[in-house]
Amino acid sequence: MATVPSDVLAVELLQRECRVKKPLRVVPLFERLADLDAAPAAIARLFSIGWYRDCIDGKQEVMIGYSDSGKDAGRLSAAWELYKAQVVISVAKQHGVKLTMFHG
C-alpha cells in the first residue's frame, strides 16, 4: 500500500540498488482511507520529481482498492473516498502524465 511518495520511491530505489536489468513498473495501491485521502498529494509530489517522471516515461498506473477502505469506514464512506481519490487524474494531467487507474 502507498500513503507517501517514499512508499513508491523505495521500490524504485530497491530495483536500482539490485541492478535489475528490466525494472518492473511500480504501481501504488491506495486502499485505506488515509491512503485515499493522501493520494492526490502523494502523486503530485512523485510527479514533481524529475528522475521519477523520466523513470515512468510519462505513464503511471494507480490502483485504488475497496477492501481496507470498506473495513475502515463502511461501504458508503469508502465509496465516497474512492470517488474523491480519483482527482489524481487531474493531477496527472497537470504534469503531462498519462494515468491508468484501476479498481481492486
- For residue 103, give the 3-state DSSP assignment: strand
| Residue 71 annotated in active site | yes
What amino acid occupies position 67?
S
User: Which of 71, 84, 93, 98 is labelled catalytic?
Assistant: 71
Catalytic positions, written as ranges: 71
